[in-house]
Amino acid sequence: MHKDHGIWFRIKAYHLHTQVYVTCLMVFIFVVSIVVYCIPAVRQSEVLSNLMLALFTSLLVTVFTTIADLYISYKNHRSEEYLEDMHQYGIASLHRDKKRALQNMLSDCDKSIWISGYRLILTRDLIPDIEAAIGRGARVKAVICPPWNEAYGMVYGDSGKVMDNYFTVFHAIYRACMEHGFSPAEFQVYFINKPIFSDTYRVDQNLITGPYMHNRDREFKRLMAKDFFSYDIVRQSSLYAAVNDEFATLCDEAEEILDWSLMEELYQRFEKEDWTEAQKRDEFHKMCKKIK
């Protein structure tokens, strides 16, 4: 990482000192030309006065141009250095629209999709993209902190109705799996009673993540992770390995796994019967079996 040195140190480091010297020379000549123009003997000579007037007028434009070029070059170098530092740390790019970034990644996904989360709000929005990826051969793996676990309440309390997302997302995955002749056993969904600190997706070899926030919003009571910022991670970086290993660790430490054999029957009941949120939670929980 770069240190925050003084401005002249950075100018020399960016090889902009020659431009500074040229700019200073232009300013000096401009000042001298004004002084010469103000000399009475020069003012009395029509030729000399017009010549000096044209000189310092053109120099004024040149000075403004060189200063503007110097400033732009300096800012560009600073931006490049920040980007270099981000890349060195492992961040490929920042995203304010996580949904769009994931849709772009999912558009040609054909191997694997990893999902982590609590409420699956964003995941539900991505159902068509996930179904299309499954059709190309992608397998889905998810680790979820569900509302029936204490850890969910530690983060979100008792706010929000999320079970519709659970039924919709996992039935869509199950339906796509069956339509394309895949075994549901290849699609693992783990449930963990441990707070998840990062909203992480892996699409093939692309990792995109971001922090969960505790800010409140009007609709869902908590600010969604996608509304803050997300970043995709440089492959082969230490940050990539750390986030990748965290997901694997959460899966290894999960207490329950989704039993797909009950999905279709329970989903049909979910659509037909008027369940409360608590009933939806309890019925969905019946599809989960303990991991020995």
pLDDT above 50 (res 54): yes
- What is the rounded CA–CA span in Å between residue 153 and residue 156? 5
Task: Report how many helices (DSSP H) and strands (DSSP E) the chain contains, helices first.
Answer: 12, 9
Per-residue pLDDT of 79-116, as tens digits, reads: 555 545 555 555 656 667 888 889 988 999 999 999 99
pLDDT higher at 227 or 130: 130
Mean pLDDT, the chain, rounded, equals 82
Secondary structure class of 181 (helix, strand, coil)? coil
Mean pLDDT, rounded, for 32-39: 81
Q: What pLDDT is stored for residue 186 in this prediction? A: 92
Residue 241: C-alpha distances to residues 87, 207, 245 (Å)? 14, 10, 6
- What is the rounded CA–CA span in Å between residue 23 and residue 18? 9
Q: What pLDDT is stored for residue 3 in this prediction? A: 47
Q: Are strands 139-144 and 188-191 parallel, antiparallel or unpaired?
A: parallel
Per-residue pLDDT of 56-74, as tens digits, reads: 788 777 888 888 887 777 7
Per-residue pLDDT of 186-198, as tens digits, reads: 999 999 999 888 8
Nearest to 262 by CA among 204, 208, 209, 189: 189
pLDDT band at 234 (very low <50, low <70, confident <90, very high): low
Q: What pLDDT is stored for residue 240 in this prediction? A: 77
User: Which range has highest mean pLDDT (10-14, 189-193, 235-239)?
Assistant: 189-193
pTM (2 decimals)? 0.66
Pick among 3.30.1360.10, 3.90.1720.10, 1.10.150.240, 3.30.870.10: CATH of 94-290: 3.30.870.10
Is 235:223 a contact under the CB 8 Å cutoff? Answer: no
pLDDT above 90 (res 173): yes
Per-residue pLDDT of 140-164, as tens digits, reads: 999 999 999 999 988 887 767 899 9
Percentage of the chain lying above the pLDDT 90 cut: 40
Q: What pLDDT is stored for residue 93 in this prediction? A: 66
Where in the chain are the domains?
Answer: 7-89, 94-290
